[in-house]
Copies of this chain bind each other. A is one copy, B any other.
Amino acid sequence: MIKVDTRHLSRFVGGDELKQISHLTKAAHKSLLDGDGAGNDFLGWKDLPVNYDKDEFARIKKAADKIKSDSQVLFVIGIGGSYLGARAVIEALKSTLYNNLKKSTPEIYFVGNGIDADYLNEVISLADGKDFSVNIISKSGTTTEPAVAFRVFRELAEKKYGAYAKSRIYATTDKKRGTLKELADSEGWETFVVPDDIGGRFSVLTAVGLLPIAAAGVDIEQLIKGAADERNDLLETDPLKNNVLIYAALRNIFFNKGFKNELLVTYKNSFVQFGEWYKQLFGESEGKDGKGIFPVTATFSTDLHSLGQFIQDGAPIIFETVLKFDAPLNDYYLKKLPPEQDGDGLNFLSEQNLSVVTEKAFLGTIIAHTDGGTPNIVISAPKPDAYTLGALIYFFEKACAVSGYLLGVNPFDQPGVESYKKNMFALLGKKGYEDIRQKLEAQIN
């Protein structure tokens, strides 16, 4: 369903280059399919769309229905992979203005994804006078940012609902052990599972993402079905016929040609957060061992009036991957005005849908940027609905895994994320970090 269009690349990629790299792409793919590559303890996402826990899935839908029926607001507490996926899907399918639009589903606010006091205070104020539920998402329960926020929102719930608070707190956490799991069991909160074999950035189609997504009224069956169908499509072993292998190979080719930034472009305001999900997926998977394509994002045509100049004429360090939908969910028809009201000269655009203008902007931009020396890969998809988004998620997850293997890294670990935490804990005086603290304080002074 997801297609990679290489038509605009002839200026940058020679006729045989994809073929020349194909034995590598094939080997990377085989390693992923066979499960014998680096990080192969974390391949649970691979078969997830056809191999998920059906009982838990039914419980997720039931819990989402309860939240929809008894809550005006849902607070979702998590960071990194326990935050970005759900927010990306909700905004992509329900609008970046979701919390402001008229709707029958609860407002959803994400919190515990940082340590900004102003933001925490603001989100707290949103609970005021409203019925709410809380979904805490944390494998261990001890990650600082979500744990701080959960202390706050748990207290708010218990103050407001007393003994009934427990029916409004949902914990997505380790299946068997850990601080949050123990707490949830002893308090009687319903729990959902963060699987052991799926890393945070690959977890959006587990309960981690699905509970908030379902609470927003998204059809999660369609989301999973799209992912399952795309999974099937991408089993194709011919590296020149499989769209995800073509995409991964092109990324590798551009990286080796010196284009060190990949700019993921969409023409949809609602995909800004999908871009944030993509940045974690690829940045955390590839950015290691001194290597990696740096993932950046843009929304066109908005950012043609901000980053467009750089892409057109600036340093040649960027290749663009344009995620293009064939149609919007709801088009807008441009009426013709009487000639005397055509002072703005826009009648030449009228008597057609706005999506036609988008289409021409898309084509015109690709040609302009290509002429300017910036390669444009196009990934096309039918329309931004739940089924297609499920497919896109699977497509990018698999593209990321194959890309990591092509780059020669373990795409499933993230050792570098620990460094700041270790320093932060030491500076905050956490027990067990006394030696590091002394060293750091000497370094600071």
Chain A residues with CB under 8 Å of chain B are 79-81, 83-84, 95-97, 99-102, 107, 109, 113-123, 125-126, 128, 141-142, 144-145, 147-148, 150-151, 179-180, 182-183, 200-201, 260-261, 267-270, 276, 279-280, 283-284, 286-296, 299-318, 328-332, 334, 337, 343-346, 348-349, 353-358, 360-361, 363-365, 367-369, 371-372, 384, 414-417, 419-431, 440, 443-444
Nearest Cβ on chain B to A186's Cβ, whole angstroms: 9
The residues of B that contact A363 with a CB separation of less than 8 Å are 423, 427, 440, 444
- How far apart are the CA atoms of A307 and B280 in the complex, in Å? 6
| Given A260-B260, A309-B414, A97:B126 Cβ within 8 A | yes
B314, B360, B371: which contacts A292 (Cβ < 8 A)?
A: B314
- How far apart are the CA atoms of A116 and B303 in the complex, in Å? 13
The residues of B that contact A80 with a CB separation of less than 8 Å are 305-306
The residues of B that contact A427 with a CB separation of less than 8 Å are 360, 363-364
Whether the Cβ atoms of B314 and A118 lie closer than 8 Å is no
- How far apart are the CA atoms of A29 and B72 in the complex, in Å? 55
Nearest Cβ on chain B to A71's Cβ, whole angstroms: 16
Work out how many copies of this chain go into the complex. Answer: 2
Q: Can you list 28 A-B contacts (CB < 8 A)? A: A80-B306, A81-B305, A95-B119, A97-B119, A113-B305, A114-B267, A114-B300, A115-B361, A116-B269, A117-B355, A118-B330, A120-B332, A280-B307, A283-B307, A283-B310, A287-B307, A288-B309, A292-B314, A296-B296, A305-B417, A308-B420, A309-B417, A357-B424, A357-B428, A363-B440, A364-B420, A368-B419, A371-B419
- How far apart are the CA atoms of A313 and B179 in the complex, in Å? 30
